[in-house]
A and B are shown apart, each in its own frame.
Chain A
Amino acid sequence: MRHARDKQSDALTIFLGVLGELMITVGLLIGGYIVWNVWWDSNQSAAVAAQDVKEFYQSVEAAPAQEGEVVTKGDPPVIDPVPHGETFGVLIVPKWYGITNNTMPLKEGTTPDVLDLAAAGHYVGTAMPGEVGNFSVAGHRRSHGNSFRRIDILEKGDQVIVETKDTWYIYEVTGHEIVLPTQTEVIAPVPDKPGEIPTQRLLTMTTCHSVRVGEWGNDHRWVTHAKLVGWMDRSEGMPEQVLNDPGVK
């Protein structure tokens, strides 16, 4: 009887030992995934984005590193829509200098093959930069380069700058809303009023957000709106806030 009980407890010890090791292994695998997601993969995506931006700058005339004059009257130049996946500009959020990978390639399309390259993806069919309507872009929050990670620190009046081949477009944040992923009206030509004829030149950024776990979740969308306050010819110079880029001075 005593002998049998010993055998039983040996089997139990082995079982518990293997179970414990399996649980440790699963924990390490999950920890590894998090390391991969927030560090390894994001660095890889950011490196691709940096290369895309570099190639864009090589394909256009360099803007002189001096403060240019901001134009606020008249109509800004507008470029034609480009094919899916093509880089047509750069998105800069001056408030994010030194915080996240900030100078992001602007590409056409919002599918994973575009956004996973740490790009800001332009919603097909929405206005182009500077155009009357709602120039809308999507970017990842806490994966694939963390493009729009700190969208939560943008406040009314903060600048969002779009740079195309010939023009800087300076937008200022007007506010934000947290909506469900299906609420497409936020990128309507007049945000939240689908069907209305636009009169303003707007910009909208969308990214992941969770009402429970913030930047880590995906159950909602953080949507930040901005409106055009001026533009500048790239041959004139740079917007004041771009000159604050630690990489420019």
Chain B
Amino acid sequence: MYAALWKVLPGPAWLRIIMLVILLAAVVYCLFTWVYPWISDTFVSGDPSIEN
């Protein structure tokens, strides 16, 4: 899986590493901005209040 990603990327090893770092940063950004808040709101009940 990750080996295939490495093969698909063009250029020398150092360029591939830079691309992977950028890709990782983009993935983390998407997770923190949209995915995790959505999971938190949708699935995780953190309601600290008392109610019927």
Residues of chain A touching chain B, judged by Cβ–Cβ distance below 8 Å, are 17-18, 21-22, 29, 32-33, 36-37, 40-41, 110, 112, 115, 121, 123, 138-141, 143-144, 148, 179, 181-184, 186-187, 206-208, 218, 221, 223
Shortest C-beta distance, A134 to chain B (Å), equals: 12
Tell me the minimal C-beta distance from B51 to chain A in angstroms: 7
B37 and chain A: residue at smallest CB distance: A41
Closest to A21 in B: B1
Name 10 interchain pairs, CB-CB below 8 A, sorted by A: A21-B1, A21-B2, A29-B31, A110-B51, A115-B48, A138-B48, A138-B49, A140-B48, A141-B48, A208-B47
Convert B29-42 into 0s and 1s, putting 1 for each residue whose CB lies closer than 8 angstroms to a CB of A: 00110001101110
Complex Cα–Cα for A123 and B40 (A): 23
Evaluate contact between B50 and A184: CB separation under 8 angstroms. Answer: yes
Given A17-B1, A21-B1; A36-B36 close (CB under 8 Å): yes
Inter-chain CA distance A227–B41, complex, in Å, is 34
B2, B28, B36, B49: the one within 8 Å of A41 (CB): B36
A-B pairs, top 10 by smallest CB distance, nearest first, are A138-B49, A110-B49, A36-B36, A21-B1, A207-B48, A208-B48, A143-B46, A138-B48, A18-B1, A206-B50
